[in-house]
Amino acid sequence: MRLRRRQRGAALLTAMVIVTLVATLAAAMVWQQWRAVQVEAIERSRMQAAWILAGALDWSRLILREDARAGGPDHLGEPWAVPLAEARLSSFLAVDKNNTDDAPEAFLSGSITDAQARYNLRNLFQEQEGKVIPAELAILKRLCDAAGVASDVADRLANALAAANAGGENAALMPQSVAQLSWLGFDADTLRRLAPLVVLLPARTPVNLNTAASEVIAATIAGAQRGDAERLVQVRQRTPFRSLAEAQKNLPPGIELSPSQVSTTTRYFDVQGRLRLGDRVLQEHSLIERRGATVLAVRRERVNLTDPAS
Q: What is the pLDDT of residue 231?
A: 95
Q: What is the pLDDT of residue 106?
A: 77
Q: Which of 115, 135, 146, 142 is nearest to 258 (CA)?
A: 135
Q: What is the pLDDT of residue 61?
A: 86
Q: What is the pLDDT of residue 258?
A: 93
Predicted TM-score (pTM) of this structure: 0.78
Q: What is the pLDDT of residue 216?
A: 97
Topology of domain 54-116+267-305, CATH: Pantoate--beta-alanine Ligase; Chain: A,domain 2 (3.30.1300)
d(CA 197, CA 154): 13
Q: What is the pLDDT of residue 120?
A: 97
Q: Put residue 14 in one of left, alpha, beta given phi > 0 → left and psi -120 to 50 → alpha.
A: alpha
Q: How would you label 123-134 residue by residue, b for 16+ Cβ within 10 Å and e otherwise? A: bbbeeeeeebee
Q: What is the torsional sign of CA 161, 165, 168, 173?
A: positive
Q: What is the pLDDT of residue 46?
A: 57
Q: What is the pLDDT of residue 284?
A: 86
Question: Domain map of the chain by residue range?
Answer: 54-116+267-305, 119-196, 206-262
DSSP, collapsed to helix, strand or coil, labels residue 19 as helix
Q: Which of 162, 142, 160 is nearest to 151 (CA)?
A: 142
Q: Which of 212, 184, 186 is nearest to 198 (CA)?
A: 212
Q: How many residues does the chain have?
A: 310
* pLDDT block averages, 10 residues each, the chain of length 310: 62 74 74 66 58 73 89 93 80 51 69 96 84 94 94 92 73 80 91 95 95 96 93 95 95 93 96 80 88 88 62
Q: What is the pLDDT of residue 95?
A: 47
Could you count the other beta carbons within 10 Å of the beta carbon of residue 64?
23
